Amino acid sequence: MLKNQKVIVLGGSSGMGLATARLLATEGAHVVIASRSQEKRDAALRVIGGRSEAIPLDFSQEDAVRRFFDSMGAFDHLVLMGAGLPAWGILSEIQSAALENAFHTKFWGYFLCAKYGAPLIRQSGSILFTIGGAARSAIPGTAGVAAVNGAIMCMAMTLAKELAPIRVNILSPGLVDTPAYNWMSTEEKDAFFKQMGGNLPVGRVGQPEEIAQSALYLITNAYTTGAILDVDGGGRLH
């Protein structure tokens, strides 16, 4: 489906980004992943296979993002799946510096990649922004995360008109079992996923491969732009 197409996956070395990069490679794409840790990138390349490349990038650094895209040439799709620093907590507990860092990493990174990447994207191509269910679920304790992801969502919807005919879509995952939760012990993680997943209509948390399937749809469906796709096991149905 993506034969002879070049796709850049920011954050393609772990979790949903890695699963997406792998699926796109099996669909024939020339996949370029970018992230900070060489160890993760090397491991990811072994999983992705195909005609894939890995390039070091901290997407929160403007000069680095500019240089990255300067070296890239024309390409077809930009997939933004990198993570930022978290800013959890109720309003009285959110540290201003933590929220500033959260914006400076995820929002800023996605903005910079869109800004410097868009001019290189072929007219038939697309940008995919990854937000998170918190952006539209109004769950107490998630205002900071909601703000960062909501800002990305609003920017992306506007870009769907501004950058047309390049398509711009938004993928909104719910809770997905990725290495983002590896700061917990296996027992803690299992208990957390069991409890949170049990509250969902589907009865479990998501898998990165399920996000990858959705990303493939948004990237390849030429009649889909400005869409927000919730892939959250029904998490928004409170």
Ligand X SMILES: NC(=O)c1ccc[n+]([C@@H]2O[C@H](COP(=O)([O-])OP(=O)(O)OC[C@H]3O[C@@H](n4cnc5c(N)ncnc54)[C@H](OP(=O)(O)O)[C@@H]3O)[C@@H](O)[C@H]2O)c1
Q: Least distance from C-beta 3 to ligand X, angstroms?
A: 25
Our CA dihedral for 16, 21, 25, 30, rounded to 10 degrees, sits at: 160
Q: Which is nearer to ligand X, 122 or 227 (CB)?
A: 227
Minimum gap (Å) between residue 4 Cβ and ligand X: 25
| CB-side neighbour CA atoms (13 Å) of 47 | 19
CB of 166 to ligand X, least distance (A): 21
> Where does residue 13 fall: left (phi above 0), alpha (psi -120 to 50 degrees), or beta otherwise?
alpha
Residues that bind ligand X (CB under 6 A): 10-11, 13-17, 35-37, 40, 57-60, 81-83, 105-106, 109, 130, 132-133, 173, 175-176, 178-180
Question: Minimum Å distance from CB 34 to ligand X?
Answer: 6
CB 33 within 8 A of CB 55: yes
Nearer to ligand X, 57 or 121 (CB): 57
Nearer to ligand X, 29 or 175 (CB): 175
Residue that the structure tokens 């400005």 belong to: 226
Alpha carbons 111 and 90: distance in angstroms, whole number: 26
Nearer of residues 43 and 120 to ligand X, judged by Cβ: 43
